Amino acid sequence: MRMGLAIDASCDLPQAFIKEHDIAVMPIAVHVDKDTFKDDRNPAEIQRFLDQKMGSRSHSASTEPCSVEDVQKLFLEKLVLEKDCVFCLTITATRSPINDHVIKASFAVLKHYRDVRDQTTMPGPFLMRVIDTRTLFAGAAPAIVEATRLFKSGEAPAAIRERLTYVANNSYGYMLPRDLYYLRARAKTKGDRSVGLFSAVMGSALDIKPLLRGYRGETAPVGKVRGFEHGAETLFDYVCKRVHAGLLVPVVCISYGGDLADVPKLPGFEALKAACEECKVELMIAPMSITGMVNVGEGALTVGFAAEEHVVEF
């Protein structure tokens, strides 16, 4: 059985990994004033967004996740002809409509795929499974990486779905924002009251930043740090402890809304790298999606891993 993966563009993974595993990306259109960006994890498009310094004015941007019709088109014109089973993984359904769009599209895909496959004499059924990773950005990486491992091991679709659901329910996505004013302005634009004006003003004045966690569909602050550099060190140190405690999937993914060359320079990165090497855990560094930068601001840092449920220790 030919297995395949499709992800939404907000799932942060290195482009090399996406190409290596032939992962289809469901794009998001981002409109900033008169500029439009196709967010499909193309490094050149991400760099174009950064080069044009959109960060200061993109809090008012509008985003258009891949529509139901576009998902249907991707599958019926391409994926049902190339694969026999495709798992679609998305960021949490509580923060994006893409999961709902994919589920709705799946009904039409499963209804019409036989007509498409019959025209090319492709025998057998086609399966489409949708998994909500229940987290954000780099937090989606563990389930996606695990899917590729399960494909290689020849696991059956039912077993893969069960395992990915378990990993998703135990995936953690932590975020350290750089600009609280931006985060508050974006939240206000979207009608999200999770970042109040008082908190933004006081946080910016004192350089206090929240550490946010996306976990099981909920996004909430779990700690506070003074300064971005100290925050990165605190976050990396915490992830080191989780790596040593044991992960469900041997991977840690870091995503960053800026020049990736800056990531290894952050305090605590070398210690995290050493911990991953010691525990044989792959450390990935990926650009944050354009959609991610629009929603949380340029320069934000996210880290994702999957582990058994535990008490947050910040």
pLDDT tens-digit series, residues 144-161: 999 999 999 999 999 999
CATH topology of domain 3-169: Rossmann fold (3.40.50)
* Residue 53: predicted pLDDT: 82
Structure tokens at 209: 């930043």
Which residue reads 């995503």 in tokens? 255
**Is the per-residue pLDDT at 58 higher than 80?**
no
* Residue 39: predicted pLDDT: 96
The CA R_g of the chain, rounded to the nearest whole Å, is 19
Which of these ranges, 23-32, 194-203, 299-308, has the smallest mean pLDDT?
A: 194-203
Confidence of residue 47 (pLDDT cuts 50, 70, 90): very high
Q: Give mean pLDDT, residues 262-288.
A: 98
Q: Give mean pLDDT, residues 171-185.
A: 87
Average pLDDT for the chain:
91
Separation of alpha carbons 133 and 199, rounded Å: 29
Q: For the chain, give the percent of residues with pLDDT over 90.
A: 77
| Residue of 93, 96, 74 whose CA lies nearest to 23 | 74
Can you give the residue ranges of every domain in the chain? 3-169, 171-306
Confidence of residue 191 (pLDDT cuts 50, 70, 90): low
Separation of alpha carbons 25 and 5, rounded Å: 9
Q: Give mean pLDDT, residues 31-57.
A: 88
C-alpha distance from residue 105 to each of 88, 100, 113 (Å): 11, 9, 12
Q: Using CA of residue 236, residue 237, residue 240, residue 246, what is the dihedral sign?
A: negative
For the segment 15-29, what is each residue's pLDDT rounded down to a tens digit? 999 999 999 999 999
Judge if pTM exceeds 0.95: no
Structure tokens at 72: 């249907």
Burial 109-145 (b: 16+ CB within 10 A, else e): beeebeebbeeeeeeeebbbbbbbbbbbbbbbbbbbb
Q: Give mean pLDDT, residues 279-290.
A: 98
* Residue 289: predicted pLDDT: 97
For the segment 67-98, what is each residue's pLDDT rounded down to a tens digit? 999 999 999 999 999 999 999 999 999 989 99
Confidence of residue 207 (pLDDT cuts 50, 70, 90): confident
| Residue of 97, 141, 143 whose CA lies nearest to 255 | 141
| Residue of 193, 129, 143 whose CA lies nearest to 173 | 143
* Residue 198: predicted pLDDT: 44
| Residue of 52, 4, 23 whose CA lies nearest to 286 | 23
Edge to edge, the sheet with strand 24-26 lists: 24-26, 3-8, 85-90, 127-132
Residue 89: helix, strand or coil by DSSP? strand
**Is the per-residue pLDDT at 55 higher than 70?**
no
Q: Give mean pLDDT, residues 203-230.
A: 86
CATH topology of domain 171-306: Hypothetical Protein Tm841; Chain: A;domain 3 (3.30.1180)
Which of these ranges, 110-114, 117-121, 134-138, 263-267, has the smallest mean pLDDT?
A: 117-121
Which residue reads 């200061």 in tokens? 56
**Is the per-residue pLDDT at 273 higher than 90?**
yes
Q: Give mean pLDDT, residues 130-140.
A: 97
* Residue 186: predicted pLDDT: 72
Q: For the chain, give the percent of residues with pLDDT over 70.
A: 92
| Residue of 87, 77, 116 whose CA lies nearest to 1 | 87
